[in-house]
Amino acid sequence: MNFIFAIVLLISSLNCTFAAPSKNLRFGILSFRPKEITLKQWQPLAREFERVLPGYTVTVLPMTFSEINQATKGRQLDLILTNPEQYILFKNQSTMNAIATMITLESGHPMTQFAGVIFTRADRTDIQTVADLEGKNIASVGEESLGSYLMQRWELEKEHVQAGHYDFLGMPQDKVVNAVLAGQDDAGFVRSGVLEGMAREGKIKLGKTPPLRVLTHHVSVGSDNISLLHSTEHYPEWPFGVSPLLSPEIVRKISLALLNIQSNSEIAKTAKIAGFNPPADYTPVEVLMLRLRSHPEELKYFNFSDVAWRYREFFLIAAAVGLLILTLFVFLIITNRRFKRVANENQKLLLAVEQSPVSIVITDLNTKIEYANHAFQKITGYPLAEIIGKTPRVLKSGKVTLSVYQEMWRLLKSGESWSGEIINRRKDGSEYIEHSLITPVKQRNGRITHYLGIKQDITERKNAEEQIKQLAFYDPLTGLPNRRKLLDRLNYTTVISHREKRMFAVCMMDLDKFKAVNDALGHTAGDELLRQVALRITQRLRGSDMVARLGGDEFVILLENVHSPENAAQVALEVIADLTLPFNLAGENIVQIGASIGISFYPQHGDTPEKLLDHADTALYKAKDNGRGCFAYYEAV
């Protein structure tokens, strides 16, 4: 029973509370270089955070693996930048959430992913494939490194290869390359880009007769279209994490600051990066760690679907509750003589299941509900008296495809477990997303008697992911696409129009007399006016067209599949006419403005988004010179 008590305490510990953060934000960074270099490298980013968070100070703290582990476990950090393996450990301890992924530079190209490299000396004729590493000595920087140990270790395990000895040399990774070249080790593990970097620095040669040979099983090009020497699958780059103690407003401002970093900015140049993207999917890293059992005290691996076990808390709770339920059934069929002796223990198990923070439901073979704990009732809105005897179909939202349920029942009837995400509907009609694990409950002879469902509401995590995407691609004031979204759409439209030999128009527009409204009535009235302008333009366009806000009172209209310049002229005239009509603002203020538009066409005026936007801007100035309140075509000089 000591083991059972430990499981109960583990479940209750998930409901811990936290204290409020201070005005001093501690920014921990995993440092492989001398700490003073890392401090100098990331100081401009800390200053940018202080700029967008008035009243806050941000302290940069370069740390080793052990230091950042200890500080994060003690909840002493508010912000972290670390490798994906450490982030998975921190995330599963519920101490950090990723809000962005770092974009690195390799040979001047931006990279959001990296891989591992397995190599040996070119003159080692006895080592041609990964299988030849059986019993060999291999150099690496350390067991905690994802890019120079864990990725390659998984490639060996897939081939059932057992190395003779691992020689952990520490950073930098040049030590690994030098050890192999000197014959101290038979082979080495480094991350992608290391060999190319040493070649650029003149330390090794990678020409026609290189001194090293890479054992490559993965010859595909990475998602960034940069073909580096690699021997493993690609995994996402370093994540930027924030403490759950920080308020949503602070997290939003930090997210925007990271996503707005340009590759040519002082911040990016000092940090030697290209910026940050919205957070990548780190599930492949977590799956890799589970497969390798690299942290047995943190992550326990069972041979269920790797991707299904995306979060450590789900796994621990499922294992604990499964043990409790199975133990309960055993106790229920023992003899009356033993029942009296273990009655108190059964009561403790029942309390643990009832008070579990995750939803637990048990059905018979006809899927009629026989038991549901308090968490299930709270999430669904159905009291126990109403749900007993009914099937979980009362929760169906109609938004899950039939194939999902077919696959679920195929596995359950064959005696296997099923897990996945389902959209359900509460009693009050509201929808929610839950992560479900459903498993058959079997007797000793293997006969299935019941089905056990363990479910957790994830409405909040999905909303957070969507909010980050919204911040990255849409203008927060008007809800229109921003410059980044516009450029993505222009790139796509250019490719399609080139292939189908179509013409499209780019209309650069700004408002006349907007500054006067802003100065006279204030920024609040100006913001309301911009929202009404965005609505009028959107209502005038076709579903295939787009309007984006570049900033201030500048807008860009994309008109796809334009058959002649007159088509674009007609839309421009209608938009100008719409915007000359009076606007009713708050406080009974009625204002009247105007608009000027410059138009460029693909492919006549350019074959790239940048050229088309520049030429439309030139045409806009021509329209203003012509008296405003009109449009003008671009004319080549």
- Three-class DSSP labels, 329-378: HHHHCCCHHHHHHHHHHHHHHHHHHHCCCCEEEEECCCCCEEEECHHHHH
79-83, 220-224, 550-554, range with the lowest pLDDT: 220-224
CA distance 630 to 622: 10
Contact status, residue 242 vs residue 78, Cβ threshold 8 Å: yes
pLDDT tens by residue, 103-153: 988 777 888 888 899 999 999 999 999 999 999 999 999 888 888 999 889
CA distance 308 to 402: 19
What's the CATH architecture for 474-633?
2-Layer Sandwich (3.30)
Does this model's pTM top 0.75?
no
pLDDT of residue 239: 94
Query: Is the model's pLDDT at 300 over the cut of 70?
Result: no
**Could you tell me the maximum CA-CA distance found in the chain, to the nearest angstrom?**
101
CA distance 513 to 229: 57
Query: Is the model's pLDDT at 258 over the cut of 90?
Result: yes
Query: Is the model's pLDDT at 489 over the cut of 80?
Result: yes
Contact status, residue 601 vs residue 503, Cβ threshold 8 Å: yes
pLDDT of residue 553: 92
Q: 3-class SS at 10?
A: helix
The superfamily in CATH containing domain 312-462 is PAS domain (3.30.450.20)
7-21, 333-347, 406-420, range with the lowest pLDDT: 7-21
Checking DSSP bridges between strand 631-633 and strand 594-602, what pairing results, if any?
Answer: parallel
Judge if 2-105+237-280 and 312-462 fold alike in CATH terms.
no
Q: At what angle do helices 523-540 and 514-521 cross, to 10 degrees?
A: 140
Among 435, 457, 464, residue whose Cα is nearest residue 97: 464
Most confident among 85-89, 254-258, 584-588 (mean pLDDT): 254-258
Q: How confident is the model over 371-382, as a mean pLDDT?
A: 85
Q: How confident is the model over 619-625, as a mean pLDDT?
A: 93
Backbone angles phi, psi at 259, to 5 degrees: -70, -20
Q: How confident is the model over 465-479, as a mean pLDDT?
A: 77
Query: Residue 544 — left, alpha, or beta (φ > 0 → left; ψ -120 to 50 → alpha)?
Result: alpha
Q: 3-class SS at 487?
A: helix
pLDDT of residue 313: 58
Structure tokens at 411: 């596995």
First to last CA, the chain: 87
CA distance 284 to 294: 14
Structure tokens at 20: 């409020």
Q: pLDDT band at 344, cuts 50/70/90?
A: low
pLDDT tens by residue, 418-470: 888 888 888 888 888 888 889 898 888 888 988 888 877 667 565 656 666 66
Query: Is the model's pLDDT at 622 over the cut of 80?
Result: yes
Contact status, residue 425 vs residue 397, Cβ threshold 8 Å: yes
pLDDT of residue 457: 67
User: Please, what CATH class does the domain formed by 113-236 belong to?
Assistant: alpha beta
Q: How confident is the model over 31-37, as a mean pLDDT?
A: 85
Q: How confident is the model over 395-401, as a mean pLDDT?
A: 84
Percent of the chain whose predicted confidence (pLDDT) is above 90: 43
Q: 3-class SS at 402?
A: helix
pLDDT of residue 294: 62
Structure tokens at 549: 């806000």
Residues in the chain: 637
Percent of the chain whose predicted confidence (pLDDT) is above 70: 86
Most confident among 106-110, 181-185, 410-414 (mean pLDDT): 181-185
Compare 218 and 501 and report the one with higher pLDDT. 501
Contact status, residue 583 vs residue 591, Cβ threshold 8 Å: yes
CA distance 175 to 170: 8
pLDDT of residue 94: 62
pLDDT of residue 546: 94
Q: How confident is the model over 614-633, as a mean pLDDT?
A: 93
Place of tokens 């052990």: 66
pLDDT of residue 462: 59
Which of the listed CATH numbers 3.40.50.20, 3.30.390.30, 3.40.190.10, 3.40.50.720 matches domain 2-105+237-280?
3.40.190.10
Q: How confident is the model over 391-404, as a mean pLDDT?
A: 85
pLDDT of residue 510: 93
CA distance 63 to 70: 10
Contact status, residue 510 vs residue 617, Cβ threshold 8 Å: no
Cα-based distances in Å from 586 to 290, 383, 527, 538, 589: 57, 46, 11, 21, 6
Q: How confident is the model over 476-487, as a mean pLDDT?
A: 91
Q: Where are the domains of the chain?
A: 2-105+237-280, 113-236, 312-462, 474-633
Compare 242 and 467 and report the one with higher pLDDT. 242
Q: In the 8-state DSSP scheme, what is residue 481?
A: B
Strands (E), 377-503: 418-425, 431-442, 448-457
Contact status, residue 563 vs residue 515, Cβ threshold 8 Å: no
Q: How confident is the model over 91-105, as a mean pLDDT?
A: 83
